Amino acid sequence: MPHPLPAILAHLDDTAAAAEARLLDWLRIPSISAQPAHAGDCLRAAGWVRDELQGMGFAAEVRPTAGHPVVVAHHPGPGGATPHLLFYGHYDVQPADPLALWTSPPFDPVVVEGPHGPRVVARGAVDDKGQCSMWLDALRAWHAVAGGPPCRITVLIEGEEEVGSPSLDAFLAANRDALKADVAIVSDTGMWDIDTPAITTSLRGMVYAQVDLKAASRDLHSGIYGGAARNPINLLSRIMGGLHDEDGRVQLPGFYDGVRELTNAQRVEWDGLGFDEAEFLGEIGLSVPAGERGRGALERMWARPTADLNGIWGGYTGDGSKTVIAAEAHAKLSCRLVPGQDPQQVAESIRRFVADRLPADCTAEVQVFSTTPGIEVAADSPWVRAARTALTAEYGKPAVLMGCGGSIPVVESMQRLLGLDSLLVGFGLTDDQVHSPNEKFEFRCLHKGARSHARLLAEIAGRAA
């Protein structure tokens, strides 16, 4: 009997228009997890993907959590000792603000022509509905041509990734047996470029905190009290301005404890990728590199920790003028961490950094909203080898093993709570404008990603046969 893969790939090609239409339907649901007004939309987005999975022969259901629901689905595969794969994704999306910068309504997806052909513009296009749609399409093609996937499959799609997955750990812990698998497959990362596939082997972790600094008991008239009373906005700006030295090194105490230097092999491999930092910065209107002096761009983004202010506010910010010395000032701070750093130690170092610079008559509270460590994936695992084979077959060139400057907290959670390593195979591009207005996803990535996932299923099943 001939192997079904050629027919599956042909089916994906023949049904490409239908796959695009399904993605647009899902994108029309404004499943914004951060905004309570969209709780019903999150439930609707979960129901949409449950129905899709049921149509492919999965036993699928929407399961409640303390927050937004998750979708869990199972397919037994052909039986026997086939590998058990867990596909993870998320249906929730970022808020669309600022709305005025969108060229079209964020939840009314439009297809426009770009340098690489048609692309869809909508919130969630690449993060993560488009990337989930790739492996859903691959599973759908296996169902249509071969009667089902060649491996045992579990699907877990959550609805709170964009707010830090606060309900997921409890759900994973309560459902360990139902979610057991050999490996988790995650498509929420990127390619090297549109012609070169990639497998992500490291993720940065994160500590996200808010600093709330208070001085006087009330807002003050700047003419009466200016020069006499402490201005907390001035003070907080000065404290936060000291986060880095002149060489770009983070000044939090003990911040670099556990940070490992690149190996010679890593440095040679990354240098050989030919990354053009000037072009990378030019796409966003910049030209001067920042970060730690004396280190290459990929090293700074993939293998070095960072500390960045994400917002700072206080006092009057409306139109016109109001001469006030505010009683409070606030800042949000995120630290991207690399493997080897202790997130709890970094959180404590933020508290110490602020406290050591706080004068009398002022108080500060540091709220820590999330702590996740950096993650490394073994580059020589059988899952990575299978993915490299599948991607090479689809793209005609080897996949790049790359790092990722972002964080995917669920990867750490699945490792810690389920004992699962993750295979990170994504198809996003650097210009997809993730979390920004006019987020987009290339249909070329959608279709070749689906074909890649179909090949990956065949490769993993074949190696286990």
Query: What is the share, in percent, of the chain residues with pLDDT greater than 90?
Result: 91
Residue 156, pLDDT > 70, answer yes
Tokens at 236, concatenated: 């907080």
Model pLDDT, residue 80: 73
Give the pLDDT mean for 12-24.
Answer: 98
Pair 460, 324 in one domain? no
Strand partners, 203: 375, 404
Helical H runs in 77-199?
Answer: 129-146, 168-174
Residue 379, pLDDT > 80, answer yes
Q: Is the peptide bond before 432 cis (omega within 30 degrees of 0)?
A: no
Range of the domain at 368: 205-259+305-372
Pair 348, 320 in one domain? yes
Model pLDDT, residue 79: 79
Residue 45, pLDDT > 90, answer yes
Pair 384, 338 in one domain? no
Pair 223, 314 in one domain? yes
Residue 262, pLDDT > 80, answer yes
Burial class of residue 248 in the structure, from the number of CB atoms within 10 Å of its CB (0-12 exposed, 13-18 middle, 19+ buried) = middle
Strand partners, 71: 62, 157
Query: The domain that contains 218 carries what CATH number?
Result: 3.30.70.360
Pair 446, 324 in one domain? no
| pLDDT tens string 88-109 | 999 999 999 999 999 999 999 9
Pair 449, 398 in one domain? yes
**Which of 320, 343, 372 is a domain's end point?**
372
Model pLDDT, residue 1: 64
* Domain contains 268: no
Q: Which of 179, 185, 187 is nearest to 71 (CA)?
A: 179
CA dist 379 → 266, 310, 382, 387, 424 (Å): 11, 33, 9, 11, 11
Helix (H) or strand (E) run with residue 121 in it: strand 117-121
* Domain contains 316: yes
Give the pLDDT mean for 313-339.
Answer: 96
Q: Which of 134, 232, 85 is nearest to 441 (CA)?
A: 134
* Domain contains 296: no
Model pLDDT, residue 378: 86
* Domain contains 165: yes
The pTM score is: 0.86
Pair 362, 404 in one domain? no
**Which of 318, 340, 372 is a domain's end point?**
372
Pair 254, 196 in one domain? no
- State the Cα–Cα distance between residues 169 and 387, nearest whole angstrom: 27
Pair 183, 219 in one domain? no
Banded model confidence at residue 265, pLDDT cuts 50, 70, 90: confident
- State the Cα–Cα distance between residues 186 and 33, nearest whole angstrom: 20
Q: Which residues contact 42 (CB under 8 A, 6 or more apart)?
A: 31, 32, 33, 68, 69, 91, 92, 159
Residue 443, pLDDT > 70, answer yes
* Domain contains 24: yes
- State the Cα–Cα distance between residues 400 and 48, nearest whole angstrom: 34
Residue 112, pLDDT > 70, answer yes
Q: Which residue has the tokens 């404890």?
A: 257
Pair 141, 194 in one domain? yes
The amino acid sitting at 411 is V
Give the pLDDT mean for 59-64.
Answer: 98
User: What average pLDDT does the structure give for the chain?
Assistant: 96
Residue 81, pLDDT > 70, answer no
Tell me the angle at which helices 443-464 and 5-14 cross, rounded to the nearest 10 degrees. Answer: 160
Give the strands of the sheet with 110-114, arranged side by side. 110-114, 117-121, 440-442
The answer to whether the CB of 245 falls within 8 A of the CB of 375 is no
Residue 457, pLDDT > 80, answer yes
For the chain, the domain total comes to: 2
- Report the residue count for the chain: 465
Query: What is the share, in percent, of the chain residues with pLDDT greater than 70?
Result: 99
* Domain contains 283: no
Residue 357, pLDDT > 90, answer yes
- State the Cα–Cα distance between residues 85 and 93, nearest whole angstrom: 25
The answer to whether the CB of 307 falls within 8 A of the CB of 337 is no
- State the Cα–Cα distance between residues 127 and 408, nearest whole angstrom: 12
* Domain contains 56: yes
Banded model confidence at residue 377, pLDDT cuts 50, 70, 90: confident
**Which of 372, 399, 420 is a domain's end point?**
372
What are the backbone angles phi and psi of residue 247, rounded to the nearest 5°? -95, 5
Pair 384, 431 in one domain? yes
Banded model confidence at residue 164, pLDDT cuts 50, 70, 90: confident
What are the backbone angles phi and psi of residue 104, rounded to the nearest 5°? -155, 160
Model pLDDT, residue 465: 65
Give the pLDDT mean for 3-7.
Answer: 97
Give the number of other Cβ atoms within 10 Å of residue 332's Cβ: 16
* Domain contains 186: yes
Model pLDDT, residue 83: 96
Residue 450, pLDDT > 70, answer yes
Pair 367, 220 in one domain? yes
Query: The domain that contains 129 carries what CATH number?
Result: 3.40.630.10
Tokens at 285, concatenated: 């209107």
Give the pLDDT mean for 137-159.
Answer: 98
Give the pLDDT mean for 172-194.
Answer: 96
| pLDDT tens string 293-323 | 999 999 999 999 999 999 999 999 999 999 9
